[in-house]
Structure 1
Amino acid sequence: MTRACNPLIPWLVSALLGLIGNTCAAGVMADHTRLIFNEGQAQESLMLANTNAYPVVIQTWVDKGQGDNLPQNIVSAFIAMPAVFRLQPSALQSLQVILTDRNLPVDRESVFWLNLYEIPPTQDASAPDTTRVTLAMNTQLKIFYRPKNLPIAPEQLTNALHFRLEQTADGVLLICRNDSPYHTSFASVRLIQGDKIVAGISDTDLLSSPYSERRYHLDQNLLKSHDQLQVRYELIDDTGRAKPGQAPLR
């Protein structure tokens, strides 16, 4: 018996692809790039779509971004359900992320990572003698837990960011001081002089923690003159969009 395909499935998969864009090479994609848990919120959901031409098994878990521990050995403030499931080509799956430990800091955001570990089939049943390389992929999405009554609103975050340069034996570093209770997720950071880009950041992790300083390595070992330098950045907001901003060096 042939099962009729739900006509909504291709449309929903296409919609998810449009939301995600080309930022992820994995075949399983989510309709969020991050989850925001406000204090008092018990759970959040997101939709996953398998854009591969083959079925996959997905294992999900939440950690602090360690990447060096087995999921069964990780103790986290969140759990993801279902923890393991199979996803057919073009199929959708709702995933629930549940807060299980409310004993988190009340004066600042906490950040966790949702892992989507994608395991493809090991062998093509139609071609059993074909040799191929099977690669599992892990996609990570950020989860932010946001307490109530923080001293400033998220929209005021940019006013709490301060930048300066520091000369070290390894070159020039850009220091970002985050005086806010929020994590800052930069999509890009560049130094400009007038309209000219004179340096960028070579680091791939551009997350800056609340009430802390983060040191970023410049991709150019400048700088003979720091006159009129500005920091131009793109800051990722709660919706996952990159918003431009600019700040002076101090």
Structure 2
Amino acid sequence: MKLKLAILLPLLFSFLTPAFASIQVMGTRVIFNAKEKEQSVRINNVGDAPALIQVWIDSRRESSVEDKENLPFIINPPIARVNKGKGKVLRIFPTDETASKYPQDRETMLWINILDIPPESENAADKNLMNIAVRTRLKFFYRPAGLKGELLTASENVAWTTQKTATGYKVTGSNNSPYYISFASLKIAGQEDTILQGDVIEPFSSKVFEFKNIKNSTAPVLKYTFITDLGAFVNKELKL
């Protein structure tokens, strides 16, 4: 039976035509300043059919669709239909418990989840279609009022130290600020195999980035790209 199932499943899916979701999120991150009454996220339906979306916030770096949490934010609307070619604004509000839930001396990083559920085709019964619900996750930074400094300055002032290893380097970034420092990428110049994608250094913390298999680099240069509040990429270089 197991052998038959293993043969039948690839045959079944080879005849299916996937129908992909079509919700486009405008932005890559959300900064919620505590002094503001609300924040918003705009989404657009760039597909050729209506879509149903479900939106929620969670605190886990990795989570499933079933992992729902009761966090002190209200999203309006939490469920919505978005017609083709149309957009919708998702509004996010704090509750009375928000300030007491999170530290007030630093940012907290959460996640916005937007689940795009494509509708079934009217002629689905006559076609081999596989509808796929696609979830988009955006970093959501809750920023208490009164934090010292600003993200751009903090990102430019990360303190770096280097340790030589048998095969490369361990580079430690120290963030002495209340902000999350977000990186799009880090690499050793001229050595494309060393690229590290997407990471953060938490507030008042350090993080080690390990670069392995460095080839013939007597004066290595660290090239990294950090991300601003507006989602802009800023490139920097550092001689190790």
- The change in CA–CA distance for 1:111 and 1:128 in structure 2 (over 3 A counts) is same
- The change in CA–CA distance for 1:69 and 1:156 in structure 2 (over 3 A counts) is same
Query: What do the CA deviations read for 1:199-221 (whole angstroms, capped 9, x no partner)?
Result: 5334x441221111223343x42
The answer to whether structure 1 residue 175 and structure 2 residue 168 are counterparts is: no
SS at match of 2:113: strand
TM-score normalised to structure 1 length: 0.76
> Larger C-alpha radius of gyration, 1 or 2?
2
Contact 1:62 1:79 (C-alpha < 8 Å) held by counterparts: no
Query: What do the CA deviations read for 1:124-176 (whole angstroms, capped 9, x no partner)?
Result: 21352211222111111122122233232223113431233446799754332
Cα distance between partner residues in 2 of 1:91 and 1:53: 10
User: Who is 2:214 aligned against?
Assistant: 222
Contact 2:184 2:198 (C-alpha < 8 Å) held by counterparts: no
Moved more, 46-55 or 124-133: 124-133
Cα distance between partner residues in 1 of 2:239 and 2:37: 40
Cα distance between partner residues in 2 of 1:158 and 1:213: 13
- The change in CA–CA distance for 1:224 and 1:109 in structure 2 (over 3 A counts) is same
> In percent, how many aligned pairs have the same letter?
28
Match of residue 137, structure 2, among 130, 135, 140 = 140
- The change in CA–CA distance for 1:223 and 1:212 in structure 2 (over 3 A counts) is farther
SS at match of 1:128: helix
Cα distance between partner residues in 2 of 1:78 and 1:45: 12
User: Who is 2:111 aligned against?
Assistant: 113
Cα distance between partner residues in 1 of 2:77 and 2:167: 46
Deviation, structure 1 residue 223: 5.7
User: Who is 2:233 aligned against?
Assistant: 242
Moved more, 130-139 or 152-161: 152-161
- The change in CA–CA distance for 1:168 and 1:59 in structure 2 (over 3 A counts) is farther
Equivalenced residue count is: 217
Unaligned runs of 5+ in 2: 1-19
Cα distance between partner residues in 2 of 1:26 and 1:166: 45
Contact 2:106 2:144 (C-alpha < 8 Å) held by counterparts: yes
Contact 1:62 1:76 (C-alpha < 8 Å) held by counterparts: yes
TM-score normalised to structure 2 length: 0.79
Unaligned runs of 5+ in 1: 1-24
The CA RMSD over aligned residues, in Å, is 2.6
